[in-house]
């Protein structure tokens, strides 16, 4: 049985005070062929470049070995034996938490020395029943790993953080032993109780901000928090380009009107077809929010109406470098990116009729045909943002 929920994954970080690079590394991957999500949070010893190298090496190996279905103790053994030894402390050290979510929803957590993973069912805190595994061979024999497997339900959340969160504020009058894992759990539970649909990104951000506040806004360690949120998917349809056969105009328009989610129309011809078939009016905006693009238009029942190929190209460019710290503008392409980030299942319907305007030799050389641009956007959404994307040509 396949899972019936969407998996939202996001993280927030703050570097050790004065450092330009984090010693914590969070990686995640969606393996489309297996409909599987793998995430890894690793904390390298110390901070700065050296810690980042340790954590990057650890998280990359953990992700790749988990993808290959290697046994968990074997993964840990390989990682620990591969890490370079610190010249000062004469030890190689990097913590990790690996989470592997299969297509059935079965979720396996493997943890080594990170603060214990937090699981919320709604606002209720679920304590994992850890199985302890002691390593038996090699120079790391005796080290203990923790394993836990469960089947999440809708509205469950998994919260993973580095010790920069749990130890924040340590030594202060109010938090002599640091914030501690149980207090982090209670804080996250309180946030969910206050806003039951709080996103993974916002929840992780609030935990990191509070930890930073505990350190009097001068982080004494790298602070990282990652959240996995299991919930109903939010759907988006993007239609661009007229159908190859004019007889399909009616079919396209009825699918737009019946779609159970948000709808974006990219392209004047596409918007004209939908307006004509559904007997609706297009109202043009005269304010240029983005000097590079024509302004958006408005149509009843449609969330966003924009120009076509140029806008999609700009969406592709924004997505290449977009992350949680990028502030989006008010232009049409920025609005599309915002809606893409807010939705989980994205359906592109791409018309294949040749648009005569795109054959004009005076247009920029890099103006690519619609299909190529859409494919690039789809790949970025799948690989970088774990979105479920379908492409349909009409």
| Residue partners of 8: CB distance under 8 A and separation at least 6 | 199, 200, 227, 228, 229, 230, 231, 344, 386
CA–CA separation, 94 vs 82, rounded Å?
A: 11
Which among 363, 306, 300, 362 is positioned nearest to 330, based on CA atoms?
306
Query: What fold, for 6-231?
Result: Phosphatase 2c; domain 1 (3.60.40)
pLDDT, one tens digit for every residue, the chain (394 residues)? 467 788 999 999 999 999 999 999 999 998 888 989 999 999 988 888 989 998 999 999 999 999 998 887 788 888 877 776 656 665 667 889 999 999 999 999 999 989 999 999 999 999 999 999 887 766 666 788 899 999 999 999 999 999 999 999 999 999 999 999 999 999 999 999 999 999 999 999 999 999 999 999 999 999 999 999 999 889 999 999 889 888 899 999 999 999 989 999 999 999 999 999 999 999 988 888 888 899 999 999 999 999 988 999 999 999 999 987 788 988 999 999 999 998 989 999 998 876 655 555 554 433 457 888 999 999 999 888 888 899 999 8
Report domain extents, the chain. 6-231, 235-393
- Provide the b/e sequence for 37-51 (b: ≥16 CB within 10 Å): bbbbbbbbbbbbebb
Residue appearing with tokens 């954590």: 55
């Amino acid at each position: 049985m396949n899972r019936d929920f969407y998996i939202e994954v996001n993280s927030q970080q703050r570097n050790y005070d004065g450092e330009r690079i984090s010693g914590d590394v969070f990686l995640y991957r969606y393996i489309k062929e297996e409909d599987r999500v793998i995430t890894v949070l690793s904390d390298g010893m110390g901070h700065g470049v050296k810690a980042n190298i340790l954590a990057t090496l650890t998280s990359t190996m953990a992700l790749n070995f988990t993808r290959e279905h290697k046994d968990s103790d074997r993964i840990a053994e390989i990682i620990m034996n591969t890490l370079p030894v610190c010249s000062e402390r004469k030890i190689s050290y990097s913590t990790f938490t690996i989470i592997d979510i299969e297509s059935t929803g079965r979720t396996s957590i493997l943890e080594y020395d990170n603060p214990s993973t937090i699981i919320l069912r709604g606002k209720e805190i679920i304590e994992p029943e850890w199985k302890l595994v002691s390593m038996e061979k090699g120079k790391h024999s005796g080290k203990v790993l923790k394993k836990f497997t469960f089947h999440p339900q809708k509205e469950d959340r998994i919260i993973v953080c580095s010790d920069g969160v749990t130890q924040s504020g340590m030594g202060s009058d109010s938090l002599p032993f640091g914030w501690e894992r149980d207090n982090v759990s209670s804080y996250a539970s309180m946030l969910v109780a206050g806003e039951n649909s709080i996103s993974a990104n916002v929840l992780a951000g609030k935990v990191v901000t509070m930890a930073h506040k505990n350190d009097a806004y001068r982080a004494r360690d790298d602070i990282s928090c990652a959240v996995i949120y299991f919930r109903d998917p939010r759907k988006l349809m993007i239609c661009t380009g007229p159908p190859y056969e004019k007889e399909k105009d009616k079919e396209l328009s009825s699918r737009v009107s019946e779609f159970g989610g948000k709808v974006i129309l990219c392209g004047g011809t596409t918007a004209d077809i939908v307006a004509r078939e559904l007997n609706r009016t297009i109202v043009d905006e005269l304010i240029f929010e983005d000097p590079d693009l024509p302004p958006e238009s408005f149509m009843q029942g449609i969330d966003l109406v924009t120009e076509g190929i140029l806008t999609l190209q700009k969406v592709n460019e924004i997505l290449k470098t977009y992350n949680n710290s990028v502030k989006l503008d008010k232009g049409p392409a920025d609005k599309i990116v915002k809606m893409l980030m807010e939705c989980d299942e994205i359906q592109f319907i791409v018309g294949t009729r040749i648009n005569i305007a795109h054959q004009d030799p005076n247009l920029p050389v890099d103006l690519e045909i619609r299909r190529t641009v859409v494919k690039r956007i789809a790949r970025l959404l799948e690989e970088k943002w774990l979105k479920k994307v379908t492409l349909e040509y009409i």
